[in-house]
Structure 1
C-alpha cells in the first residue's frame, strides 16, 4: 500500500497497527502543463545525502528463476504483450537473486496482537520528522505552493507523507527492486490471498521492466523497499508510470533525487484518488459513541465517506466539534490496546490518504504529523 520502505521502526509500526502488509495502490495522470513559473524552476532540489551504508540490505541467494515453470510462462507472456526480446528477458531474470528478507517481512503478523494507535503515533509524530519537515518545507516552499495551487493539496499533507514514508529521502530503501519483486512474484510466503499477492507483484515486475525501458535505465539500478517501492514518496513501479509527474520541468521524472518531482507526484496521486480541493476543513473530527451499540454498523464499511451526519447522530455517534453541514463522513476507530478506542468522523480527503496506504493509523499519522510540522514552522517564523 502503497507497500513501503521498512526500517526497524516501520516493522514495529506494522505490528502496532495490526497490519501484516501495507497495501499498495498507485498509476499516470497526465503531466501538468508547464507554466512559466514551472519552467523558471528548472533547478532540482536535491535531498541531503544519507550516511554511507552497504549498497543493498541483503546478500541474496542465487536461484535460477529462469528454470521455474511459472517464470518461463511469465516471460513468454511478457515478451508477447510488451514486445520484449525473449532471450534478453531470460538474461535479465538470470541476474536476479532470491531475497529471503522480503519473504519473511511479508509473512502475516501473529494472530491476536492488539492494535495500539498511541504507540504507533509516537513512531512518526516525533522531533526528527517534525524538524526535518520544517526544513523540507522551507527548502521547497515554492514547489509546495505551486502544488497546492495546481492540485489543491495542502503543503503540510504533502510534506507529512514524504516524512512518514522516507524521512524526506533519508531512508528510501536499499533492496534491488528487481530482486525483491521477482522473489515476491514467484516465492511469496504461504498466507491468505497468496495467489492475488503474487499476481500483484508480477504486475509490478512487469511495470519495472517497462518503466526501465521507457526511462532508458538499467532495471537493476532501481533500489527501494523490500516490496519494491521507490524514491522519496515510495511509489510502486506501476504508480510511477501512472501518477508521477515531471514537476521540476526538466523533461524527466525522478522520484529518487528530485524533491520537486516527489512533491508534485504525491499531490497528483492524491487527486487521482479522490482528493477534493473544496473540502478545506479538518480531515477528521473527534467523536464519541453511545453505549447502545448501534454505531458498530458503521465500522469497516470501506474506505469511503458516505454517511450523513443526521444518520450518524441517530445511531449515537456525535462529534465533539462542529461539523460542516451537508458533508459525508465515515467512522474511524483507532484502537489503543487495553486503553479506550479513539473514534473520529473522517472526511473524503482523509480517505484519499488511505489510498496511499490502506490504514487508518497511517492516514491519521499523516494528518497529525502535518499539523505538528505546520505549527512548528509557524512558531519559527
Structure 2
C-alpha cells in the first residue's frame, strides 16, 4: 500500500484493476536560473583630434593678436590671416583642461601605479642604454643626474612613444581664445596666447611649417613635452646639428630637460637624495608647513622643532619643504623635499608628478644594475 499511495490518481486506478502500470517518468530537473548578462561599459567617445572650422580670423581678440604680432615681430597681418584660416577649434582640448570635479579625493598610490610599472621601467632601461654617453655628458655639464632626466622623459612620453596627436597651433589657438570658464581663465588665456606667439615666431625663424607641429592637448611638444615658449627659451641643440628638435633627437631632449631644471633652481652641489620619508608628531604643529607653494623655504631645524622627523638626518645648510601625498581614504604620506625636488615641480606643478619622476628614475636605475 505504501507503493500505491505514491502513485498519481490515474495510475492508482490502473493498479487496482490489475493492469500494467507504465513506468513513471523522471521529474524534469529544474531549469538553471539565467545568469544576469553583464552590460559592457559604455565606450569612451573617440577623441576628436581634427576639430572644426570656426574662422578664428573674424574674432575680435584674434584680430588684436594679429595686430600685436605685426607690431612686435613684424609678421605681416596677411600672413597671419592665411595661417588662422587653417586653424581649427578643438573642443577635446577645452574639455581636457577643465579641472577635475570637486570632491574627488587625491590618491598618490593610484597615480604612482600609472608610472612606476614594468612597461615604463623596461623602456627606461632601453633608453638609458641607448643614450648612456649623452646622459653622462648632460649630467657632467648641468649637474642633473641621469636618473632624473630619464624619469622626466619616461613620465612625459614613455621615451617618445606617446608624444600626442593634436596639431599644436589648433589647440593653442583654441585655448588662447576659447578657454573654458574658470577662476583663472584670463591668466590661462594669456599664457596660451604667449605660447601661440612663441610657436609662430619660432617656426618663422627656423623655417618650419608651424602646421606640422603635433603634440599634447595643451600644446606640449616632443619627448620631454616642452611648451613652445620653453623650446624657444630653454631648448638645447645637444647633438650639434644646428637646430633644436625635441621630436626626433633624444640628445636634444636630454640636454633640454637638464637645462630646464638648472634654469628653475637645480643645484648640482646638493645631495642625490631629493625627498626623505617623514613621521609627524601628533601635536600637529607641523601643519603650518603644508600648502606653502612649490619652493623649499624652511630650515631643517624649523621642521624638526615642529615635530617632523626623518629616519635619515636632513643635511644641514639647505632649505626644505613639507610634501603631503594624499592617499584617498588611506593615511597621507609625508615627505621632506629638498630644493632640487621642488625644481622638478616647475616642470609640472604637482607633488605627485615630482615624486613619480624621482621613483621612476630610481626604479630604472635599479633595473639597470640588476641586468648588467
- Report the TM-score when normalising by structure 2: 0.86
> Which among 201, 214, 220 is matched to residue 205 of structure 2?
214
Indicate yes or no: 2:222 matched with 1:231.
Answer: yes
Q: Structure 1 residue 288: deviation in Å?
A: 1.0
Q: Tell me what 1:249 maps to.
A: 240
- Report the TM-score when normalising by structure 1: 0.84
Runs of 4+ in 1 over 4 A off after TM superposition: none
Q: Structure 1 residue 60: deviation in Å?
A: 1.0
Q: Tell me what 2:117 maps to.
A: 126
**1:327-351 CA deviation, whole Å, 9 max, x = no partner?**
2210000000000000000001000
Q: Structure 1 residue 195: deviation in Å?
A: 0.7
Q: In the aligned structure 1, how far is the partner of 2:303 from the partner of 2:151?
A: 30
Q: Tell me what 2:249 maps to.
A: 258
Q: Structure 1 residue 310: deviation in Å?
A: 1.4
Q: Tell me what 1:168 maps to.
A: 159
Q: Structure 1 residue 75: deviation in Å?
A: 0.6
Indicate yes or no: 2:346 matched with 1:355.
Answer: yes
Aligned residues: 327
- Asked if structure 1 preserves the Cα contact closer than 8 Å seen for 2:49 and 2:167, the reply is no
- Structure 1 unaligned segments of length 5 or more: list them: 1-53
Q: Structure 1 residue 125: deviation in Å?
A: 0.2
> Which among 99, 102, 120 is matched to residue 108 of structure 1?
99
Q: In the aligned structure 2, how far is the partner of 1:59 from the partner of 1:315?
A: 54
> Which among 60, 70, 74 is matched to residue 65 of structure 2?
74
Aligned pairs for 1:114-193 within 5 A? 114-193=105-184
Q: Tell me what 2:196 maps to.
A: 205
- Asked if structure 1 preserves the Cα contact closer than 8 Å seen for 2:50 and 2:166, the reply is no
Q: Structure 1 residue 281: deviation in Å?
A: 3.0
Q: Structure 1 residue 77: deviation in Å?
A: 1.0
- Asked if structure 2 preserves the Cα contact closer than 8 Å seen for 1:57 and 1:174, the reply is no
- Asked if structure 2 preserves the Cα contact closer than 8 Å seen for 1:208 and 1:238, the reply is yes
- Asked if structure 2 preserves the Cα contact closer than 8 Å seen for 1:160 and 1:370, the reply is yes
Q: In the aligned structure 2, how far is the partner of 1:360 from the partner of 1:142?
A: 30
Indicate yes or no: 2:88 matched with 1:88.
Answer: no
SS at match of 2:86: coil
Q: Tell me what 1:37 maps to.
A: none
SS at match of 2:172: helix
